[in-house]
Chains A and B, each alone.
Chain A
Amino acid sequence: MVMRTLLCSILLGTVALSAHHSFAAQYDADKPITLKGTVTRIEWTNPHFHFYVDVKDDKGVVTQWAFEGYPPNMLVRQGWKKDVSLKPGMVVTVQGWRARVEPNLVAAREVTFEDGSKLTSGPPAGTGGQ
């Protein structure tokens, strides 16, 4: 049993899941980030949906951040509805992990809406490649 667990661990250490690509190829699990801002645009597309949020810093400077998440077929299984769940003008808080290179790109794990409800928007960090 110990050996079985060990073998599973060995393999699972190298194979995990994402809908499309290795998480670590583009994103850094050591760079978690949570951002709050106003949604400006949504791309309800494959192999990822993208949405863009204007985030204002302490000095009032607005920066646009891009978020990547599940494709539509996965989003609907998490309870999302196109043009309903997320709309331009909504204020959202997004938790995720920053890209390795692009300064304002985030793999979005969860979106929290103004009423406190939450929806899963993408896979957890470290997954990908199976």
Chain B
Amino acid sequence: MKQHVAWLMTVIVAVSVSIPSRAQTTARKPKPAPRAVDGKPDLSGVWIGTGPLRLMAGEAEVAAARQADIDEGRPAPRTEPPPYKPEAEKQRQYFLDRRGIDDPMARCLISGVPRISFRPLPMQIIQMPDQMVFLYETHHAFRVMPTDGRPHPDDVEPSYLGDSVAHWEGDTLVVDVTGFNTKTWLIGVGTVHSEKLRVTERYTRDSYNTMLYRVTMDDPEVFTKPWNAEETFRLRPGERIREYECIENNEDLLRIERLLKDESVFKRPATNN
């Protein structure tokens, strides 16, 4: 019996050495996330998504970030195609065919949630024991998220960013967002939604320099099932959020109005957006 056990242990050890897990072969232990005084991960800092990093900091920094992900065993963000019902998909295709000219953002209206998280301008998170404050350079937008267990207020009016309440599930900040108007797009061109939209965001600072962002958009009016998207935020040490007064000199408004009068501009389908 002892021999059998010894043989089995040998096999297990041999297998575990010869076929190590992906984490064992690739992961380099990153610098850990800092902790707040209450023991929660401290999400405070200036952050930007990996996709937007390309515009803000260039290809070299994106390549370095991707390499760090590989070295540290961090999965690449994954975003599904939007699971629209036929009527909503028809609306999205309409906006795509018009190459995004109807984008509310081009008129300087606040991007909603989660679109504002994917913008190529940074955001700053300020963490307090009973609330989180998110400051966005985009549109000078802000979100205050109570984490003290209170529910959504009962007088919420439909708005661009909705109403957010948050709680911790282990080391993940989970944000429940409701109370949206229908004047925003969810992520890409034409990603419409109804006032029944409910967004659940999950922020996990998995290392000092990175924060995983997983978001679920649930809207039974337009989707056949919840839509999931992901991004990895990057800490930007030394960066600060700056002013961005979008409406200052928005010549796009005049050009868009001129373009909208010329339907021939939209006769061929979009080749890019």
Contact = CB atoms under 8 A, between A and B. Distances in A.
B69 interface: no
B273 A11 contact: no
B81 A73 contact: no
Contact of B121 (A16, A25, A73): A73
Given A11-B79, A23-B273, A128-B273, A17 B55 contact: yes
Contacts of B265: 100-101
B265 to A, nearest CB: 6
Contacts of A10: 81
Interface string B55-73: 1111000000000000000
**How extensive is the interface on chain B, given as a class?**
35 or more
A78 B270 CA distance: 30
Interface stretch (A45-53, A56-64, A82-90): A45-53
Looking at B56, B108, B188, B259, the one whose CB has the most chain A CB atoms below 10 A away is B188
Contacts of A71: 244
A22 B259 contact: no
A82 B246 CA distance: 18
Given A19-B120, A43-B249, A102-B255, A24 B80 contact: no
Mostly helix, strand, loop or mixed at chain B's interface? loop
A20 B55 contact: no
A23 B272 contact: yes
A68 B273 CA distance: 17
A2 interface: no
A126 B242 contact: no
7 contacts: A11-B80, A21-B105, A30-B271, A45-B248, A46-B244, A47-B249, A129-B100
Interface of A: 4, 7-8, 10-12, 14-26, 29-30, 43, 45-48, 50, 68, 71, 73-74, 76-77, 99-102, 105, 120, 123, 125-130
Interface of B: 51-52, 54-58, 76-82, 96, 98-101, 103, 105-106, 108, 115, 118-121, 137, 187-189, 229, 242-252, 255-256, 258-259, 262, 265, 270-273
